[in-house]
Chain A
Amino acid sequence: DAKTTQPPSMDCAEGRAANLPCNHSTISGNEYVYWYRQIHSQGPQYIIHGLKNNETNEMASLIITEDRKSSTLILPHATLRDTAVYYCIVNDYKLSFGAGTTVTVRA
């Protein structure tokens, strides 16, 4: 399965959009990109996933580059409750979690 690279941490202002990058340069053509987040002491929460096209749901938008080597998760209007660790995972049938990005939303 393709490896992913995410920044270890990022801050975001409440009410602003949060753009979380993920590099997956070794992704193959039929591998999906999944995003999860984990709020302190809770189980991981599924956010969104995609293959080639951009995806949007009630939580977030996922933008995948045309060459599929990177993607960006967009939280359109970050709130304090979006403070969490965000994980980008490629395809893995059993989900191999890396270190993720610790996102802190500040008032």
Chain B
Amino acid sequence: DTGVSQNPRHKITKRGQNVTFRCDPISEHNRLYWYRQTLGQGPEFLTYFQNEAQLEKSRLLSDRFSAERPKGSFSTLEIQRTEQGDSAMYLCASSLGSAAFSGNTIYFGEGSWLTVV
């Protein structure tokens, strides 16, 4: 299966620690997206990359969050000084080009669950 891969799938961390999630998109997909989802809510957009360039960041992406895609392939999402409110599922997705006006499809990974205790 060559879908979007996310690691780790589950992470439990103590408040104040840093955590990093990795996303490997579908091969040759130049767009990569990060979302956050809390219980009972739909996924919320955080940021996206076109190749290695980070083109948009949501207001949800506080300064404790940083995302990178250094070579335009895999991406990492780091959360520094975690807080209990960061507990959520972090979703990664990828697409071959924009989904807007072109019919390209955005495919999601299975998500990485973060629990901050």
Contact = CB atoms under 8 A, between A and B. Distances in A.
Interface residues of A, number: 27
A95 B106 contact: yes
A79 to B, nearest CB: 21
A87 B91 CA distance: 16
Nearest to B110: A43
Main secondary structure of the interface of A (DSSP, over half): loop
A21 interface: no
A41 B108 CA distance: 13
Interface string A63-82: 00000000000000000000
Contacts of A96: 45
B99 A91 contact: yes
A101 B89 CA distance: 20
- What 9 pairs between A and B have smallest CB-CB spacing? A97-B42, A93-B100, A43-B108, A44-B108, A43-B110, A94-B45, A43-B111, A93-B98, A97-B43
16 contacts: A31-B101, A38-B43, A42-B111, A44-B43, A44-B91, A44-B108, A46-B105, A49-B103, A51-B103, A91-B101, A93-B98, A94-B33, A94-B45, A94-B48, A95-B33, A95-B99
Given A31-B101, A49-B105, A97-B42, 13 more contacts: A34-B105, A38-B43, A44-B91, A44-B93, A51-B103, A87-B42, A91-B100, A92-B100, A93-B99, A94-B33, A94-B56, A95-B99, A98-B42
